[in-house]
Structure 1
Amino acid sequence: MGFHTFDAAKAAKLDDPAARYRYVSAEELVWAVGATGTATLADLGSGTGFYTDDVAAHAETVYGVDVQEAMHDHYRENGVPENVELVTAEVAALPFDDGELDGAFSTMTFHEFADDDAITEIARTVAADGRVAVADWSADGAGEAGPPLAERFGLEEAQARFEAGGFEVEFGASRSETFLLVGRAP
């Protein structure tokens, strides 16, 4: 399975609203992560900040976490909201205290970091009962967009991984090319 990163040289492709909202809407993501005006959230694999900006409008603080500093550079060129802090880190090694986050979300990047260490780290940094939302390319899709099918996970496998990490999965839906999973941190 995957564990690659998106080519930062193609970052501008990630800023196309018609292409991005076709698979995950801003409203859906804000609902899924349970964003409130006082929440401290992390966007895991924030890339160019496309979805980070959507959620930031409904939260007190959002950490845009990406392993590639080049993605942060692209985000800075577009303009970063005042309540967003950019963090260069792997999901398996987040620089947050235990329970520091009220929630976390990931859009189209779970396949890039989906392993036990990353899920353990998400569980460590998200406060008990905090929401974690994951929208990603599905292994059950046709593969017409996104990464190759061999690099994707299905909803059931993603759910099993989060449940093994102690999360209670509250919602899961498979769509034509993607899935959405919402869980509560242990």
Structure 2
Amino acid sequence: MGHHTFDADRADKLEDARQRYRHLSAEELLWALSADGDDTVADLGSGTGFYTDDVAPSVGRVYAVDIQEAMHDYYREKGVPNNVDLVTSGIDDLPLETDSLDAAFSTMTYHEFASELAMRELSRVLDEQGTLVVVDWAATGSGDHGPPVDERFSATEAADALRQHGFEIKFEAVRPETFLLVANAE
């Protein structure tokens, strides 16, 4: 399943607000994070910073984590907010302190990093009761948008993986092409 990365040469496609907000609005993401002005948050697979920019004004600090330096280059050119730190890393080996995050979110990237190591790493960096928001392409979708269906996970598979790593699912929604999970670290 999955574990590929989005082609940085197509980064402009990640800035299409009409398409992006069709699957997840800024308001819904902020609701799911329930972050306050002092929180430290990580955007897991931040790409061009599209959703990072939506979250940054509402929190103290955001780590924009992406494995591709080319995505960070794109974001730098676009303009990175002062409270955003660019982190070039995979999710399975985050250069962040233990319990250093109040929240983390993944928008359409869970299928790219979902692994035993990544789940353990997320458990490590999220503070007790920290929030994890996962929005991704659903295995039940048509495959007309996003990755091929055989590279996707179902909401049930993702929720089970999170539970196995000490997360409690607080909210779950399955849509025609995507799913949304809100979980808390235990």
Give TM class, smaller chain. Answer: over 0.9
CA deviation digits over 1:95-129, x for unaligned, max 9? 11110011100000000000111011001000000
Aligned length: 186
Q: Aligned AA for 1:11?
A: A
Tell me the percent identity. Answer: 56
CA deviation digits over 1:120-167, x for unaligned, max 9? 100100000010000000000111100000000010000000000010
Q: Aligned AA for 1:142?
A: S
Matches within 5 A, 1:93-108: 93-108=93-108
Matches within 5 A, 1:164-175: 164-175=164-175
| Match in the other structure for 2:56 | 56
CA–CA separation in structure 1 for the residues paired with 2:57 and 2:23: 20
Is the partner of 1:82 in helix, strand or coil? coil
Report the alpha carbon displacement of residue 31 of structure 1 after superposing the two structures with TM.
1.1
CA–CA separation in structure 1 for the residues paired with 2:86 and 2:34: 21
| Match in the other structure for 1:181 | 181
Structure 1: which 5+ residue stretches go unaligned?
A: none
Report the alpha carbon displacement of residue 33 of structure 1 after superposing the two structures with TM.
1.4
CA–CA separation in structure 1 for the residues paired with 2:12 and 2:22: 17
Q: Aligned AA for 1:138?
A: A
Report the alpha carbon displacement of residue 34 of structure 1 after superposing the two structures with TM.
1.6
Structure 2: which 5+ residue stretches go unaligned?
A: none
Superposition CA RMSD, Å: 0.5
Deviates more, 1:25-34 or 1:103-112: 25-34
CA–CA separation in structure 2 for the residues paired with 1:54 and 1:145: 22
Moved over 4 A (4+): none
| Match in the other structure for 1:125 | 125
| Match in the other structure for 2:37 | 37
Matches within 5 A, 1:6-17: 6-17=6-17
Q: Aligned AA for 1:50?
A: F
Q: Does 1:157 align with 2:160?
A: no
CA–CA separation in structure 1 for the residues paired with 2:96 and 2:123: 11
